[in-house]
Each structure stands twice: as structure tokens, then as C-alpha cells.
């Protein structure tokens, strides 16, 4: 369900129909006849387009992130080499909109529906079958090695060279967001516990070889065809270099109703699940949830703040059981 904050944000994004059709026609040589705006996510203006020839495409316009689509295209190229099913990119360019240069990307529309839209219609066995495939696909994404941690830049370098430097920056960042965590109803004792848990995470866990993480590996970005086979993965806009736990933690906190077990069964490298997996999973969830909560508090997305507060409290309750 799209919240009011997201609706208001997307009302500001409105490229003309002619511009959308011209971009599609110039890059595919086909004749677009219909377009529908898709209101999902915070930073991209997205349209679904149908052509006279019966082909379907997705046009995305980057309204915020610098070199976002360029990085996505790089990540998709690496993942393609590892056998990850993906849409084809027909256009990656920079155009002028309202005196501002923005990136655009045109891809074919994947067969089927997103798992998010499909999952309520599936039996338990069918869902587990798809999640097993999702685990296999995720292991292929993680087979791509990253040369550093966190964000990748246009030049090919990454924000941090090591786990220690990445975690120290994270601890510093979360520590500076005390005000926004407090605004969500947490107190001084709880905040200090969170920071101490992040310090514990830095000291007691490590990552010598970061991998490419999707960053938003969730049911809305996993497409499934009518034979219940994954047809492709979309939206690599939140990629980062990190430990593989990053994608498991993100999936777990954004979709707590999903059982991770079939995903783990489909995932190739089982060694990641052997060393205090649940503890690391929840420590990484803490890292993510604090950052998301502070961000949504800053931008006054109160619906998101409410749900994030609940999930963060659940994570804290788990971590209190393993404090010592």
C-alpha cells in the first residue's frame, strides 16, 4: 500500500507522455501506445509502457542518486556473468528535464508478477519452491566479489577498504543520529545499548572479502513467471559491497513474515550460516533499522517511522538475550 508521503513525493515527478514515448521509440524502434505510472520507491519516476507491437517496457528516471543507473548497469553486467536472470537494458543515458540532467534507463518488462503480488495466491509448498530459487539466485549475486565496502562510485572505487573502517563509520553515523532515534520514542538507555551492540558487531565479527549485495533483495524485486520460475531480479539501485549477511538482514527486517529457511536451503555457500548466524543477522538488522529509522524521522515519513520502531524493538529484544 502506497502511503501519503510517497504519493506526495511522486506528484512532483511527472515527465510528459511525449518525452516517454520518444525515449522508447528512439531506443527500440517500436511504437509505444500506452504508459502507466508506477508509484513505488522514493527516488525513481517509473513508467510501464506498452507498444503497438505488443512489447512491454519499464522506463525509470533517476530523480536523486548520482550515477545510480550507471552503477546498476555495472552490477547487472557482473551478475549476468554469474547466471542471474535479469531484464535487458535498451537505454542508459542522461537527459535534460526542467533544466536538470537526470539518468534514464529503459528495460524490458519481465515475464510474470513480482513475488510480492503473487505470494498471497501461493500454497506454502509453492512459496517455498520460489524462495529456494531465490536463495540460489542470491548466491549467484554474492559470487561477485567487491573491492571494498558500502557504496561504489563512478570511478570504480568503494567507500571503505575494510570491515573495521566501514563499521567504525557506521557507529559514528548512528551515534550522531541520537535525536532522530529519540523522536521515535527510544530513551537514553536503549540508545546506548544499540551503540554498544554495534561496537560488539565490529569487534566480534569480520569480513575479509566483501561481495556484491543487491541491497534491496525483497519480494517486490523478484519476478516469477506462470510456471513458478524466477524470471528475473530488478532494481539494483541499492547495491553495496558487504558481507552476504547484508541481503539476508534486509530481507528479514523488511519482510518478517517470510521464512528464511528455504532461501538458506537454496543458497549455495552454507558456511555463512554456521558461525553465530542468528546473532550476526540481528546485529546487522540493528545497523540497518537504526539508519532507516533516523532517515525516515528526518524526512517526516511518520508511517514508516511507526513500523520501523516496532521492528527495531523486536530486534533489540532478541539482542538482549545474547548480550553476554
Q: What is the pLDDT along the chain (324 residues), one digit of tens a residue?
A: 455 555 555 455 678 899 999 999 999 999 999 999 998 766 789 999 999 999 999 999 997 766 589 999 999 999 999 999 999 999 999 988 887 889 999 999 999 999 999 999 999 999 999 999 999 999 999 999 999 999 999 889 999 999 999 999 999 999 999 999 999 999 999 999 999 999 999 999 999 999 999 999 999 999 999 999 999 999 999 999 999 999 999 999 999 999 999 999 999 999 999 889 999 999 999 999 999 999 999 999 999 999 999 999 999 999 999 855
Domain that includes residue 83, residue range: 8-108
Q: Is the same domain home to 158 and 305? A: yes
Closest CA to 87 of 66, 105, 70, 71: 105
Q: Is the same domain home to 164 and 298? A: yes
Instruction: Answer yes or no: is 65 within a domain.
Output: yes
Residue 143 has a CB neighbour count (10 Å cut-off) of 18
Instruction: Answer yes or no: is 3 within a domain.
Output: no
pLDDT score for 7: 53
pLDDT score for 64: 73
pLDDT score for 44: 86
- For residue 245, how far is the Cα from the chain centroid? 13
Q: Is the same domain home to 94 and 118? A: no
Instruction: Answer yes or no: is 1 within a domain.
Output: no
Residue pair 104/69 in contact by the 8 Å Cβ criterion: yes
Q: Is the same domain home to 230 and 267? A: yes
Residue pair 279/301 in contact by the 8 Å Cβ criterion: no
Q: Is the same domain home to 240 and 172? A: yes
Q: Is the same domain home to 226 and 198? A: yes
pLDDT score for 158: 98
Q: Is the same domain home to 128 and 227? A: yes
d(C-alpha 237, C-alpha 75), whole Å: 9
Instruction: Answer yes or no: is 273 within a domain.
Output: yes
Domain boundary among 85, 108, 131: 108
Tell me the CATH number at 127: 3.90.1200.10
Taking each helix axis from N to C end, the angle separating 302-320 and 277-298, rounded to the nearest 10 degrees, works out to: 150
Domain boundary among 72, 89, 108: 108
Q: Is the same domain home to 171 and 298? A: yes
Q: Is the same domain home to 253 and 269? A: yes
- Would the CA dihedral through 288, 294, 298, 302 be positive or negative? positive
Q: Is the same domain home to 294 and 311? A: yes
Helix residue ranges per DSSP H, 17-95? 17-28, 68-81
Burial of 269 (0-12, 13-18, 19+ CB in 10 A): exposed
Number of domains in the chain: 2
Instruction: Answer yes or no: is 312 within a domain.
Output: yes
Q: Is the same domain home to 273 and 253? A: yes
Instruction: Answer yes or no: is 157 within a domain.
Output: yes
Instruction: Answer yes or no: is 286 within a domain.
Output: yes
pLDDT score for 1: 45
Instruction: State pTM to two decimals.
Output: 0.92
User: Angle at CA 296, nearest 5°, toward 316 and 142?
Assistant: 70
Q: Is the same domain home to 104 and 117? A: no
d(C-alpha 131, C-alpha 124), whole Å: 10
User: How far from each other are the two terminal CA atoms of the chain, in whole angstroms?
Assistant: 40
pLDDT score for 137: 99
Helix (H) or strand (E) segment spanning residue 50:
strand 44-51
Domain boundary among 108, 143, 158: 108
Amino acid at each position: 500500500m502506497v502511503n501519503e508521503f510517497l504519493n506526495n513525493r511522486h506528484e512532483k515527478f511527472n515527465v510528459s507522455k511525449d518525452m516517454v514515448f520518444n525515449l522508447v521509440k528512439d531506443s527500440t524502434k517500436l511504437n509505444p501506445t500506452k504508459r502507466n505510472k508506477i508509484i513505488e520507491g522514493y527516488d525513481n519516476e517509473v513508467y510501464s509502457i506498452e507498444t503497438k507491437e505488443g512489447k512491454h517496457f519499464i522506463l525509470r528516471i533517476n530523480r536523486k542518486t548520482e550515477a545510480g543507473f550507471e552503477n546498476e548497469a555495472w552490477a547487472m553486467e557482473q551478475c549476468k556473468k554469474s547466471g542471474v536472470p535479469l531484464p535487458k537494458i535498451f537505454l542508459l543515458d542522461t537527459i535534460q528535464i526542467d533544466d536538470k540532467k537526470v539518468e534514464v534507463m529503459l528495460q524490458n518488462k519481465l515475464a510474470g508478477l513480482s513475488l510480492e503480488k503473487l505470494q498471497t495466491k501461493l500454497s506454502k509448498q509453492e512459496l517455498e519452491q520460489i524462495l529456494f530459487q531465490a536463495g540460489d539466485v542470491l548466491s549467484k549475486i554474492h559470487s561477485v566479489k567487491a573491492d571494498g565496502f558500502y557504496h561504489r562510485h563512478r570511478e570504480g572505487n568503494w567507500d571503505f577498504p575494510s570491515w573495521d573502517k566501514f563499521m567504525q563509520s557506521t557507529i559514528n553515523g548512528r551515534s550522531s543520529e541520537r535525536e532522530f532515534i529519540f523522536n521515535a520514542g527510544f530513551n537514553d538507555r536503549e540508545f546506548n545499548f544499540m551503540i554498544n551492540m554495534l561496537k560488539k558487531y565490529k569487534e566480534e565479527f569480520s569480513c575479509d572479502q566483501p561481495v556484491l549485495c543487491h541491497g534491496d533483495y525483497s519480494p517486490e524485486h523478484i519476478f516469477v513467471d506462470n510456471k513458478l520460475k524466477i524470471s528475473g531480479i530488478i532494481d539494483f539501485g541499492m547495491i553495496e559491497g558487504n558481507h552476504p549477511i547484508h541481503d539476508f538482514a534486509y530481507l528479514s527486517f523488511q519482510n518478517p513474515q517470510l521464512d528464511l529457511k528455504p532461501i538458506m536451503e537454496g543458497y549455495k555457500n552454507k558456511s555463512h550460516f554456521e558461525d553465530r548466524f542468528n546473532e550476526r543477522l540481528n546485529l546487522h538488522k540493528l545497523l540497518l533499522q537504526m539508519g532507516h529509522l533516523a532517515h525516515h524521522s528526518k524526512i517526516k515519513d511518520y508511517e514508516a517511522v511507526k513500523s520501523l520502531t516496532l521492528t527495531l524493538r523486536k530486534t533489540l529484544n532478541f539482542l538482549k538475550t545474547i548480550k553476554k
